[in-house]
Amino acid sequence: EVQLVESGGGLVQAGGSLRLSCAASGFTFDDYEMGWFRQAPGKEREGVSAIDTSDGTTYYADSVKGRFTISSDNAKNMVYLQMNSLKPEDTAVYYCAATLSDLKLSGVANMWGDYWGQGTQVTVSS
């Protein structure tokens, strides 16, 4: 059974930091790229960041570039999203996803998720 389990969300003040974690199981981790999406109330789900698990290449949406850092631990089947300098507009449910997207072509804007986690709420207060 495929499982992606996110953790680390919460409430933080603007300018603060959070670290999201995603534990993956039930599929061959190295065969997939891993990404983070988010969905704010009333908005569509959007790609935030992704990592090529084979070579570590990372991709970011312009809105988070320089503030968020994605990383993975292939030995533990884990993906992380370090979020610094958080802003109220970062408030959303954050989803971990495994994707077969070709990130070089799609970037994060057009990547899709083949497997999804249940999401974790991130709330940034002003």
State the 10-residue block means of pLDDT for the chain, 126 residues long: 97 98 96 97 97 96 98 97 98 98 93 96 97
Specify the pLDDT at position 71. 98
Q: Quote the pLDDT of residue 57.
A: 96
In this prediction, residue 118 carries a pLDDT of: 97
Q: Which residues have a Cβ under 8 Å from the Cβ of 53 and sit 6 or more positions away?
A: 29, 30, 32, 33, 34, 72, 74
Residue 49, pLDDT score = 98
Task: Pick left, alpha or beta for residue 88 (phi over 0 → left; psi -120 to 50 → alpha; otherwise beta).
Answer: alpha
The pLDDT assigned to 4 comes to 98
Confidence (pLDDT) at 2: 97
Instruction: Give residue 10's identity as a one-letter amino acid code.
Output: G
- In this prediction, residue 12 carries a pLDDT of 98
Give the model's pLDDT for residue 83. Answer: 98
> What is the per-residue pLDDT for 66?
98
Q: What's residue 24's pLDDT?
A: 98
Tokens standing for residue 15: 């300018």
